[in-house]
Structure 1
Amino acid sequence: MEGFIRVSPKELNLSLTLVCGQCFRWKRRSKKDNVWFGIIFNHVFELTQNINSLKVNHGDDGDSVDSSIHWKLLNSSNNKTGKAAKRKKLSQDDISNLLSDYFQLQVPLVDYYDKWSKIDSNFNSKGCQLPGIRILRQDPIENLFSFICSSNNNIPRISMMVDSLCSTYGQQLFDDHEFGTIYNFPSISRLCEDGVESKLRSLSFGYRAKFIHQAAKTIMSNDAKNPEKWLFNLRNECYEKAHSQLMSLPGVGAKVADCVCLMSLDKHDAIPVDTHVWKIALNDYLPHLKKNKTMTDKSYKEIGNFFRSHFGPYAGWAHSVLFTADLAKFKKLLE
């Protein structure tokens, strides 16, 4: 099954959104045609955005470019996937709703870019060159365990770890001619099984192996019958409570908790502060923090509170644009 979603490249830029460190299982099939291969809630997709449409200036109306993304559903499994899973026929509307939810297309991104550009010259100089960076609404389970893997790590290696986690403990979804067998993200119950820590250590997960296993067991202890529900229910809690609950899990500090809050729990003003954001805060917004040799809990909270007061309810989205601009692979584009 295939179709189109109508969206301006200023509202959604796949070549930026899918590689800026939010998720780790999207792969670029073709740079020339801007074709992407990935998984959304166990549905395997190929997404294509006209590469010419990405060259539009931020102030253009977009009428002269292709303002749509072509999607192709490569499997049709339900959310309890596996070879033996019953197939569920999805309609065009089902797919459109799924993609709209995943990319949060209800958020008027261009309006926010304009607002942030007017109040912040730093954002204006960078955001105009990096249009269409959206926050994805991901599966909290995949989001959480992927970011446990992110500790002291880089994006390519995190991607390798996540792929390894899926191929070892997930169920088969699809066989692709280029990327091989594709698996779903493993369930919490599978990550609780005996031997998970030692197996992941043998796969070079290091100390993260222990955190993955222990975090899964902690979640399972909260709701043994439906452990996934505990995570999804955090969407209904306030930011402070969701953040606190996540930090009760082994291997989850303030930054990882903020990543999950922002990228899968609908906390749009969550501000993950890593070394990139710390540097941005010191150089562009809070120079008085330079007196601190390292980031403290107090300075972490100060940076988050500043971004929230400065950029407003969707501060986490503005923060992600500035974060992306600081990534080495995009600095050349800005220069």
Structure 2
Amino acid sequence: MKKFICSKDKINLKCVLLGGQCFRWKETVPNEYVGVYADGLWTLVQYDDHIAYKRNPPTDSDETTLCHYLRMDEDLEKYYEIWSLNDPIFKKSAQKFKGIRMLRQEPIENILSFICSSNNNIIRISSMVEKMCSLYGKNIIGTQYYAFPSIDKLVGNDVEEELKKAKFGYRAKFIRQTAEKIVEFGGNKWIEKLKNMDYTCAKKELMLLPGIGPKVADCICLMSLEHLEAVPVDTHVFQIARDNYLPHLKKYKSVTDRVYNEIGDYFRSLFKIHAGWAHTVLFLDDLKSFKEYEGYCEVEENIKKSTKKKKIC
């Protein structure tokens, strides 16, 4: 295996890979993680002072690809310092949860994986994503793993029927319809357009996709479209905001659209362009243990069940 020098304070692989950002990683033995990214099967082992890694099949750019995925090019210590100065509550969380990074995910995989997150938990979401890959993705030579399918493989009524047989339920329709919409909008060119838009416009365009409501749109903006100010608000984040920052929210029993937007705007005022990244540290601290991480992909209460006909921003 190859390696690059990196302490656990710079990246905590367990929290980053298993904390609900992505659904294709497993801890096979303590501190060893196996997952699929960029059409390859990766094995990562975390040590105190470095990360050992290998990719199957190997390429000449493995370290560059991996460091890009893990955002190792960004100065996390500087971010933590700034966020801690802005917020004493964050400072306390940061002492317990160091090395939390946002992955740079592939957008189409991120979009379709989070459609699977509705009414679901991490274990089942991971199983569904693996099933979709085994049905429509290319086998990674020499392994039993499959790359995430290209968008054109997920278009057509036969796809929806096959996914229903695979127990995807109503998500089968959303996956097929979303794949068709992405193709209609321009595929990868549309994805690049979303990255270059401002955050608000990108979120509105994502919500034109079937099954994509505000929270899932924010997850996608944050995790794969470089809009790091996006703040996905679920019940955990609502509780964090209510109990620590916005006490007047105690009069609300659920996350209304108004409350959702107020919480996101508050964290953006506090942490600026990295609000979503900083809030992830607070989120992990609120969960206390990985047993509760399955709650990260809770049901989005008002998930839309049909294509939204909104004006494109």
Deviation of 1:72 (Å): 0.8
1:100-115 aligned at under 5 Å gives the runs 100-115=67-82
Match of 2:283 among 306, 316, 323: 323
Q: Is the 8 A contact 1:173 1:184 kept in 2?
A: yes
Q: Is the 8 A contact 1:269 1:315 kept in 2?
A: yes
Task: Work out whether 1:135 is the aligned partner of 2:102.
Answer: yes
Task: Work out whether 1:210 is the aligned partner of 2:177.
Answer: no
Task: Work out whether 1:311 is the aligned partner of 2:311.
Answer: no
Task: Work out whether 1:221 is the aligned partner of 2:184.
Answer: yes
CA 1:170 to 1:330, structure 2 compared with 1: closer, same or farther past 3 Å?
closer
Q: Distance in 2 between matches of 1:216 and 1:145?
A: 8
Q: Distance in 2 between matches of 1:235 and 1:319?
A: 21
Q: Deviations over 1:92-140 (max 9, x none)?
A: xx22221121111121111222222233232222221111110000000
Deviation of 1:293 (Å): 2.3
Question: Counterpart of 1:41?
Answer: 38
Larger Rg: 1
Question: Counterpart of 1:236?
Answer: 196
Task: Work out whether 1:27 is the aligned partner of 2:26.
Answer: yes
RMSD of aligned alpha carbons: 1.6
Question: Counterpart of 1:70?
Answer: 52
Q: Distance in 1 between matches of 2:197 and 2:253?
A: 35
Deviation of 1:157 (Å): 1.0
TM-score (norm 1): 0.83
Deviation of 1:232 (Å): 3.3
Q: Distance in 2 between matches of 1:266 and 1:10?
A: 23
Deviation of 1:330 (Å): 4.4
Q: Is the 8 A contact 1:116 1:311 kept in 2?
A: yes
Q: Which runs of 5+ in 2 are unaligned?
A: 293-313
Deviates more, 1:304-313 or 1:199-208: 199-208
TM-score (norm 2): 0.89
Deviates more, 1:266-275 or 1:107-116: 107-116
Task: Work out whether 1:118 is the aligned partner of 2:78.
Answer: no
Task: Work out whether 1:299 is the aligned partner of 2:266.
Answer: no
Deviation of 1:313 (Å): 1.7
Question: Counterpart of 1:165?
Answer: 132
Q: Is the 8 A contact 2:96 2:285 kept in 1?
A: no
Q: Distance in 2 between matches of 1:325 and 1:315?
A: 16
Deviation of 1:229 (Å): 3.0
Runs of 4+ in 1 over 3 A off after TM superposition: none
Deviation of 1:331 (Å): 8.4
CA 1:119 to 1:331, structure 2 compared with 1: closer, same or farther past 3 Å?
farther
